[in-house]
Amino acid sequence: MESKATSLPLIGDMIKGAQNRSVQGFNRATYDQVLAPLGRTYSGPVGQDGVNAVRQTIGDAYNSALSNMTFRANDPQFKTDILQLGQMAEGLGAPQKQTFLNTVKTQIFGKLSPQDTMDGPQLQGVQSELGRLARGYQGDPSFDNRQLGAAIGEVKNAIDQSLPRYNPPEAVENLSNANAAWSNFTRLRTAAGSQGAMNNGGVFTPAQLQNAVRAGDRSVGKGATAAGTAPMQNWSQTGMEVLGRGYPDSGTAGRLGTAGVIGAIAGHPEMLLNPATYLAAAPAMAYTPYGQKLAQALLMNRPASAQALGAAVNRFAPAVSALGLPAFAGLPQQ
């Protein structure tokens, strides 16, 4: 009913405006969902600025967790992981292989203390640089360089995975929360970076988030998505059920319809004296910010008044159509 009513004069533009506010509200709520592992919420603007702010919040939490940790290169599992990565690097091109070995040497073994450890601030710097290098190479057009970026990323992951084995539980929990928030953020980032969202200032629809959730599913055959258990999937699915798949249209049809109504009033000014004219606009008020608040108050506090208003609107619907204001034409009568 509501989606069909978006094409009606006056009320259609109001509905589309409310839908746009709902999509923006969904984005803001999604930011909160992403930040939930950190116990944080977001209150700034939505769109590209909002995405950047969420990313910065997660990055700060990650760095804060690392600053309270130490890294031990003599951890047995880490040494095994690095040896395996070195063997995998044999499959890289000669220049990429040399770059990989130099990166491991300078960023890890070249920065260890005599006890083969790093303190928190140094570890933070190393992980930041490894992340920067990995992202840079993975975005390169060359396949070999993208493989190099993936290998450097695995070195960073090996360090991350070693930290819980010998660091205090509180610091480990903080790091785990930051990593969980980052996992959520990768879905948000993909949705905000989709073509449709980029054309809308980085504001995405539930369907675009759902597509990002599926794209981020690395399970065999997208099994997690098929089972409904992929990260952020339940949230994006709920958004689709409530808000639908897309953005409201540009409003051209609504503007033309509204122009027709204004023209009708200009030609028949006596319509301004007819209560039915104002009843035609009454439903649209429900889709203004003030109208939405008023409707909520009526339904929560004065249900009898709300029902009486609905009955009155239905009673005058035929008169409204007769005046050439088809806002209620075809809508069921009670």
Last residue of a domain, one of 109, 143, 167: 167
319 pLDDT above the threshold of 80: no
Give the percent of the chain with pLDDT over 70. 67
Flag whether 64 is in a domain. no
Q: Is residue 37 part of a domain?
A: no
Looking at the domain assignment, is residue 211 inside a domain?
no
- Asked whether the predicted pLDDT for residue 165 surpasses 80, the reply is yes
Last residue of a domain, one of 112, 144, 167: 167
Residue 35 falls inside a structural domain: no
Q: Is residue 108 part of a domain?
A: yes
Number of domains comprising the chain = 2
pLDDT at 180: 94
Residue of 280 and 140 predicted with greater confidence: 140
Q: For residue 182, tell me if it sits in a domain.
A: no
Final residue of a structural domain among 105, 136, 167: 167
Mean pLDDT in the chain? 78
Shared domain check, 6 and 90: no
**pLDDT over 70 at 173, yes or no:** yes
Per-residue model confidence as pLDDT tens digits over 52-67: 999 999 999 999 998 8
Q: What is the pLDDT of residue 245?
A: 63
Mean pLDDT of 228-254: 74
Lowest mean pLDDT among 1-15, 25-39, 148-162: 1-15
Cα distance between residue 67 and residue 63, in whole Å: 6
The answer as to whether 139 is a domain residue is yes
Whole domain around residue 290: which residue ranges?
2-13+250-328
Domain annotation covers residue 30: no
- What is the per-residue pLDDT for 254? 47
